[in-house]
């Protein structure tokens, strides 16, 4: 928690300091009122007292109450400001951290958990600051100040108050020990319920197509019931605190008056009035002490969950980023558009076996290099090593003759035009989806956007839309078809004019005719750029300058389409599974 408070700026700390001073003033005013009450009590009981003296003390009491009210309003405003800014800063910090995490680190936390940490967990801490900070400052000041005022009144009353405080502390500590571990379970269950909901919404078409609504409802009900039961247990445990608090308060008041009655009965007539006044004042101060611990109890109800949330946020913020920036942010060689793998082997961080083994090849400027192989052969993993979504385990990946680990990631990514396996469309207009991000060069103009859409064979369907290039796309592109999403995703890469294009099975949703036309137009437009293509279709890659055939993570063939048909059995089998011998002979 303390680590997160460092995200507050100087202005917020000044506001916190002012709030501390105002709260101290507020406590002083509240503790001053029983003194005036005691004066009024004595004046009422004393013969010859003037009404003006009683009214004067009454006015002082009202002034103290109003001063306390004004102070409380100002403190509430300042603390709300502090909590809102804290929440904003931590959420920004957490979001930026997630942006820099490697893919395996994101998977380790899970998407649903990261969403919960960015929303619910931060809200828990914000609530603690907004409500708890006032109580956290006020309660100890009130308790200590009130105790100093009652210590010299009567040791019997002080001892009784001490017993009441001890009972309260015992109950609070017991509840903390029981409930603190349960809040960790609550936050994990919120992660799960978030995950189940997200999975259901993402796969809603499949759920409906397979009549699996009941299955999904049961799945949700299971997690929801666990969360509800856990929350009920926590709330029931905390519910015990309220009756205990009131029992202590009422029994303490009763005890003070019971002891006071005996003290007054045994005192001399001169001391009876003073003892009566002390008893009234003491009961007021004792209630202030108990109320202070009641406020602390409220904090203890909020603190365990907020502490769990803070630990979960710190867990992300403290995660060491494995893929670190290099230092090179400019071209240092004469090479442009080259990609070279030198004896590259790769395995995922938690895996025992290598996914890629000893891969070597070089793609020169203007060349098209393709990768093909069976499912799970490592094609996409190989491509993902270039933009450093993962780092190689052994060997080197060079771009323009420089190890990708030596580049600043921003500079490296500006050299690349990446089209992922699953087309990603953002909740924005078509224009903004195509001109997405910065390429460190010229601004992507409207003309360039239109040209990119034309090359990607998306012009026809885009211009048929009501608002054409300003048409709003739903998140995930759910308002267009799979092939249209892929073409828009390809247009986004084209609009950047990168040195190197990476297509990770990005033509799979296109029909053969569109695929063929798109590749021809793409070849003309990107004649000076290097193109790397992962594909399942032989037709997509058969005209590539170089084809790498992967099988179980190993490169079992490298060459042109014709060469591989003669020399690589794996490639030949893939080709024959898609095309007839006659079609292959015609292609040759």
- What is the structure's pLDDT at 274? 62
Is residue 587's pLDDT more than 60? no
User: How far is it, in rounded angstroms, from Cα 43 to Cα 47?
Assistant: 8
The two structure tokens encoding residue 562 = 């014709």
Which candidate, 110, 279, 71, 254, places its Cα nearest to that of 194? 110
Domain ranges of the chain: 2-317, 335-415+499-588, 427-497
Neighbour-count burial of 487, counting CB atoms closer than 10 A to its CB (0-12 exposed, 13-18 middle, 19+ buried): buried
Model pLDDT for residues 408-445, shown as the tens digit of each residue = 888 888 888 888 878 777 877 878 778 776 655 567 77
Strand ranges (E), 339-485: 339-346, 356-363, 368-373, 394-399, 402-403, 416-419
Mean pLDDT of the region 380-386: 85
For 567-586, the DSSP string reads: H-HHHHHHHHHHS-HHHHHH
Where does the pLDDT of residue 463 fall: very low under 50, low under 70, confident under 90, or very high at 90 and above? confident
Q: Which CATH architecture has domain 427-497?
A: 3-Layer(aba) Sandwich (3.40)
Residues contacting residue 117 through CB under 8 Å, at least 6 positions apart: 94, 109, 309, 312, 313, 316
Tens-digit pLDDT profile for residues 237-248: 777 777 877 787
Phi, psi of 420 (to 5 degrees): -75, 165
Q: Which of 34-48, 219-233, 478-492, 516-530 has the lowest mean pLDDT?
A: 34-48
- Select from 2.60.40.1250, 3.40.50.300, 3.40.640.10, 1.10.10.10 the CATH code of 335-415+499-588: 3.40.50.300
> Is a pLDDT exceeding 60 seen at residue 295?
yes
For domain 2-317, give the CATH number: 1.20.1560.10
Q: Is the pLDDT of residue 586 over 60?
A: no
537: helix, coil or strand? coil
SS (H, E, C) 284-352: HHHHHHHHHHHHHHHHHHHHHHHHHHHHHHHHHHCCCCCCCCCCECCCCCCCCCCEEEEEEEECCCCCC
pLDDT for 500-546, tens place per residue? 888 887 777 777 777 778 777 877 787 788 888 888 777 777 778 88
Cα dist from 46 to 50, 273, 277, 320, 403, whole Å:
10, 9, 12, 74, 94
With contact defined as beta carbons under 8 Å apart, do 457 and 521 qualify? Answer: yes
- What are the backbone dihedrals phi and psi of residue 441, each rounded to the nearest 5 degrees, phi first? -120, -130
Cβ count near 444 (within 10 Å): 20
Res. 306 pLDDT band, cuts 50 70 90: confident
Same fold yes or no, 335-415+499-588 and 427-497: yes
Q: Is 565 exposed, middle or buried (0-12, 13-18, 19+ CB in 10 A)?
A: buried
């Amino acid at each position: 928690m303390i680590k997160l408070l460092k995200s507050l700026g100087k202005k917020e700390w000044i506001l916190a300091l002012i709030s501390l001073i105002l709260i101290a003033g507020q406590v002083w005013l509240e503790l001053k009122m029983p003194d005036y009450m005691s004066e009024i009590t004595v004046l009422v009981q004393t013969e010859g007292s003037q009404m003006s003296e009683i009214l004067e003390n009454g006015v002082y009491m009202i002034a103290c109450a109003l001063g306390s009210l004004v102070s409380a309003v100002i403190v509430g405003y300042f603390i709300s400001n502090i909590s809102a800014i804290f929440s904003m800063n931590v959420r920004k910090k957490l979001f930026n951290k997630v942006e820099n995490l490697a893919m395996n680190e994101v998977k380790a936390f899970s998407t649903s958990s990261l969403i919960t940490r960015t929303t619910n967990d931060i809200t828990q801490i914000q609530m603690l600051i907004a409500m708890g900070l006032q109580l956290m400052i006020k309660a100890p000041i009130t308790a200590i100040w009130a105790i100093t005022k009652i210590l010299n009144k009567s040791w019997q009353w002080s001892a009784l108050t001490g017993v009441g405080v001890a009972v309260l502390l015992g109950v609070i500590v017991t509840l903390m020990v029981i409930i603190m571990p349960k809040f960790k379970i609550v936050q994990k269950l919120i992660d799960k319920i978030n995950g189940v909901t997200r999975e259901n919404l993402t796969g809603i078409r499949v759920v409906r197509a397979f009549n699996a609504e009941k299955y999904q409802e049961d799945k949700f009900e299971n997690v929801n019931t666990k969360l509800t039961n856990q929350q009920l247990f926590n709330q029931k445990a905390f519910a015990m605190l309220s009756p205990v608090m009131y029992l202590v308060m009422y029994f303490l008041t009763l005890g003070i008056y019971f002891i006071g009655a005996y003290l007054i009965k045994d005192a001399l007539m001169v001391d009876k009035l003073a003892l009566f006044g002390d008893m009234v004042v003491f009961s007021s101060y004792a209630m202030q002490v108990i109320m202070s611990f009641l406020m602390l109890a409220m904090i203890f109800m909020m603190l365990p969950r907020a502490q769990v949330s803070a630990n979960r946020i710190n867990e992300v913020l403290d995660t060491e980023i494995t893929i670190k920036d290099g230092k090179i942010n400019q071209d240092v060689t004469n090479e442009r558009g080259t990609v070279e793998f030198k004896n590259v082997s790769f395995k995922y961080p938690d895996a025992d076996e290598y996914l890629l083994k000893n891969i070597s090849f070089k793609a020169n400027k203007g060349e098209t290099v393709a990768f093909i192989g069976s499912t799970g052969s490592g094609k996409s993993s190989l491509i993902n090593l270039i933009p450093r979504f993962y780092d190689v385990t052994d060997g080197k990946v060079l771009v323009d003759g420089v190890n990708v680990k030596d580049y600043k990631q921003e500079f490296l990514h500006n050299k690349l035009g990446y089209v992922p396996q699953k087309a990603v469309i953002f909740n924005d207009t078509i224009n903004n989806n195509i001109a997405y991000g910065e390429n460190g060069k010229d601004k992507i103009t409207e003309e360039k956007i239109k040209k990119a859409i034309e090359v990607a064979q998306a012009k026809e369907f885009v211009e048929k839309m009501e608002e054409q290039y300003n048409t709003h796309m739903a998140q995930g592109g759910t308002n267009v078809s799979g092939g249209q999403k892929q073409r828009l995703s390809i247009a986004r890469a084209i609009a950047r004019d990168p040195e190197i294009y990476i297509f990770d099975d990005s033509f799979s949703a296109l029909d053969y005719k569109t695929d063929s036309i798109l590749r021809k137009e793409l070849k003309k437009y990107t004649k000076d750029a290097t193109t790397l293509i992962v594909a399942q279709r032989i037709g997509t890659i058969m005209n590539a300058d170089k084809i790498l055939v992967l099988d179980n993570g190993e490169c079992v063939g490298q060459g042109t389409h014709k060469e591989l048909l003669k020399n690589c059995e794996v490639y030949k089998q893939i080709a024959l599974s898609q095309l007839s011998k006659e079609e292959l002979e015609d292609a040759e």
